[in-house]
Amino acid sequence: MTTAAPIRLGISSCLLGQTVRFDGGHKRDGFLSDTFGRFVEWVPVCPEVEAGFGTPREAMRLLNDDGRLRLVTTRGAVDLTDTMVRFARGRVERLDQERLCGYVLKKDSPSCGMARVKVYDKNNVPARTGQGLFATALRARYPFLPIEEEGRLVDPRIRDNFVERVFAYRRVMDLFAVPGRSARWCTSTPPTS
């Protein structure tokens, strides 16, 4: 009898209690670590640490620079956009080997936030219209991957829906794991023919 491979999900490292935040802290989520974590295998990623920004580091935020979204440090206004974009593209490409069935992102982060991340204008006025730069690369590379934020998963309906999508995604991956069938459509843009 063969044992089914574990369901693997990507996750923002700080949600598992890893001390990777800008202030050296974490944002451990009890439900994800202790409950959901019993049924899945996490693949943690901290884009800001892996991109080489270090811990602790200066906090950063998204800036609307005449319509261009920039990732800048809050005090020194160091522009980290190009470094993060380059890193994110390469990192999400390498995630292809992890056979992920879903991803849980840290809300409000200028790197990981999935939606409603604050974007500041030149007058320092924030609008909740942004998406973290790593999250943007992730969603572009895997448009069908179930992705949620930990903040939304406190809602039982959203949580149940996410779990269902993860298991459905896994079933499709298993289906296309048959030799000769391509699963490329479930990790990237669907084929046109």
CB of 112 to ligand SF4, least distance (A): 3
Among 32, 46, 72, 163, which residue sits at the site for ligand SF4 (rule: CB under 6 A)? 46
Helices and strands, number each (H, E), in the chain = 5, 8
Query: Site map for ligand SF4, 24-43, x if CB under 6 A?
Result: --------------------
Query: Site map for ligand SF4, 108-147, x if CB under 6 A?
Result: -x-xx-----------------------------------
Q: Which of 62, 168, 154 is nearest to 115 (CA)?
A: 62
CB of 172 to ligand SF4, least distance (A): 27
Question: What is the spatial distance between Cα 173 and Cα 168, in angstroms, rounded to a whole number?
Answer: 9
- 16 or 186: whose CB is closer to ligand SF4? 16
Go through 48-65 and write b for each residue having 16 or more CB atoms within 10 A of its CB, e for each that does not: bbebebeeebeebbbbbe
CB of 88 to ligand SF4, least distance (A): 11
149 in contact with ligand SF4 (CB under 6 A): no
Choose one: 30-38, 57-65, 106-114, 167-175; the region binding ligand SF4 (CB under 6 A). Answer: 106-114
Among 16, 29, 47, 136, which residue sits at the site for ligand SF4 (rule: CB under 6 A)? 47
13 in contact with ligand SF4 (CB under 6 A): yes
Query: Site map for ligand SF4, 48-77, x if CB under 6 A?
Result: x-----------------------------
104 in contact with ligand SF4 (CB under 6 A): no
Contacts of 57 (CB under 8 A, 6+ apart): 22, 48
Is the bond preceding 56 in cis, omega lying within 30 degrees of 0? yes
Question: What is the spatial distance between Cα 12 and Cα 46, in angstroms, rounded to a whole number?
Answer: 6
**118 and 128 Cβ atoms separated by less than 8 Å:** yes
CB of 1 to ligand SF4, least distance (A): 37
DSSP classification of residue 107: T
Question: What is the spatial distance between Cα 169 and Cα 187, in angstroms, rounded to a whole number?
Answer: 10
CB of 134 to ligand SF4, least distance (A): 7
